[in-house]
Structure 1
Amino acid sequence: MTPSWRKPFGMFMILALILVWVVIVASFSGWVGRWHPLVQALFYVVTGLVWIAPLKPLLAWMETGRWR
């Protein structure tokens, strides 16, 4: 069996997704920093979990070559 290029490329895409998401969320830090600390915590918990949603199809593609 020959190794698939999808897994290394998929790992790169996961790292790129995390990097882009961190930059987007961090760009809101000045604005979010003015909020009440509990609202800030909720914001960061939600944004800390939202980036996981695109991983399921990406991981499926890495394993099978199909997006579904």
Structure 2
Amino acid sequence: MSEPSWRKPFGMFLILALIVIWSVLVLLASPLIERLPALVQAVVYTFLGIVWILPLKPLLSWMETGHWRKF
């Protein structure tokens, strides 16, 4: 049996940190976003709610393999 990798717990920490940082950034941008019409706000918040997921694919790959990209 192989020794557990430190990448998985560290990767979980990075994911949580990403969520917290992204949430704070969106919170700081909310005074600007709230000036927009309601329908535009919905689109912006939907986009911001999805875009944070983009860095997860390479991070999850690194957690599993130790490489940022699969070659």
TM-score calculated relative to the size of structure 2:
0.93
Consecutive unaligned residues in structure 1, runs of 5 or more: none
Consecutive unaligned residues in structure 2, runs of 5 or more: none
Q: Distance between the aligned counterparts of 1:26 and 1:64, measured in 2? A: 34
Give the superposed CA RMSD.
0.5
Aligned length: 68
What is the correspondence of 1:43-58 to structure 2 with a 5 Å cutoff? 43-58=44-59
Q: Distance between the aligned counterparts of 1:64 and 1:24, measured in 2? A: 30
TM-score calculated relative to the size of structure 1:
0.97
User: What corresponds to 2:9 in structure 1?
Assistant: 8
Q: Distance between the aligned counterparts of 2:37 and 2:14, measured in 1? A: 34
Q: Distance between the aligned counterparts of 1:30 and 1:54, measured in 2? A: 26
What is the CA distance between 1:34 and its match in structure 2? 1.3
Q: Which moved more, 1:31-40 or 1:7-16?
A: 31-40
Alignment identity in percent? 62
Q: Distance between the aligned counterparts of 1:64 and 1:48, measured in 2? A: 27
